[in-house]
Amino acid sequence: MSVTTERLRPAVRVGPTSWRLHPRAVLCSVVAAVLVAVLLVVDLAYGDLKIPFVDVVRALLGDSSGVNAFIVRDVRLPEAAVALLAGLALGLSGALIQTIARNPLASPDVIGVNAGAAAGAVGYIVLFAAADTGAPSGISADLAIPAAAFAGALIATALLYAAGWRRGLDGRRLVLVGIGIAAALTACTSWLLVAARLQTAASAQVWLSGSLNGVTSSNALWLLGVFVIVAPVALWQGSSLNIVELGDDTAHALGVRPGRAQAVALLCAVLLAAVAVSAVGPIGFVAFVCPQIARRLAGTSRPPLLTSALAGAGLVLVADVITRLWLTGLAVGVVTSLVGAPYFIYLLIRTQKDPS
């Protein structure tokens, strides 16, 4: 193995294989990974009972003896794991969509994935859970709402493909059509809430604000399963996305079929966002803000996929810690939106000033 620092780019070469290194981006992802690990430990340590960090780490590494280990592994880990995985999935999803749309304003929440999931979940809560009979037989209750949300998100995406795809994918068209679909689906959700009984509407509202309360280990496993399958496919697209961002014509000229690369990336992004949102509710702005933060930190031309995912995990974990320690009763989604909304406005203003 050799690591060379030539004039252009340092590279790692082992036998016939070779990889290019972007030192600042690599440093960013390492630092982000360490931060996320620390945040995970903090998230597991704080709660009604403070558990020493040492015990948390020991429990995470496999020690299952004692009360502290029980609290960490069986009580708190599902929620923390869902926060971690949902954050990773949302960050990666946002990075993919912003790259293929060539637009920093695009993200799964903007193009209607969240709205679709919300309509699905609220529809299920109002139509089935309201009947006081619990879930329909055969589906366990804690997976029924996520399943409905997932279906809703996929239907929204199908609409987006049908209306937004014209011999390829145009970023502006994708965003505009997506905003339209999101608005229509949000209207559906509002109508369902108005039509529902007060008590049902209240429980639907809790889900809508994006909450980690009440997530179970089956949520975490479902999320982990989808992430482990989809994330490698998405990361695999990295070098093609480098070419796609140069424009459709240049991509063709360099031997990449942009339509295919974009379709694969969009599908990955939607699956990741849908599974995350179905588990935790429509947590806002994570998928939108984190890729842009990661891009600025790493100094790359498009959002770096891995760092964006880690930034997403970091933001959701921070929000989870904040809601547990100081803003008890406030949903995680509210905190992430509080951080994200001002940034969204800032980007909008900046984009208007700079026509490119």
Binding-site ranges for another protein (CB under 8 A): 6-9, 11, 13, 16-20, 102, 236, 239, 242-243, 245-247, 249-250, 252-257, 299-302, 356
Give bridge partners of residue 10 from the DSSP assignment.
5
CA distances from 50 to 34, 97, 325 (A): 22, 39, 11
DSSP state, residue 340: H
For residue 40, what is the enclosing H or E element?
helix 23-45
State in angstroms the smallest separation of the CB of 19 from another protein: 5
Cβ nearer to another protein, comparing 209 with 300: 300
State in angstroms the smallest separation of the CB of 33 from another protein: 22
Three-state SS for 99? helix
- State the virtual CA torsion across 92, 94, 96, 101 in degrees, nearest 10: 180
State in angstroms the smallest separation of the CB of 169 from another protein: 14
State in angstroms the smallest separation of the CB of 339 from another protein: 23
Cβ nearer to another protein, comparing 167 with 197: 167
Handedness of CA 275, 280, 281, 282 (dihedral sign): negative
DSSP secondary structure, 55-66, as one string: HHHHHHTT---S
DSSP state, residue 75: I
Cβ nearer to another protein, comparing 217 with 300: 300
State in angstroms the smallest separation of the CB of 7 from another protein: 6
- Taking residue 159's Cβ as centre, other Cβ atoms within 10 Å add up to 18
Name the amino acid, one letter, at 160.
L
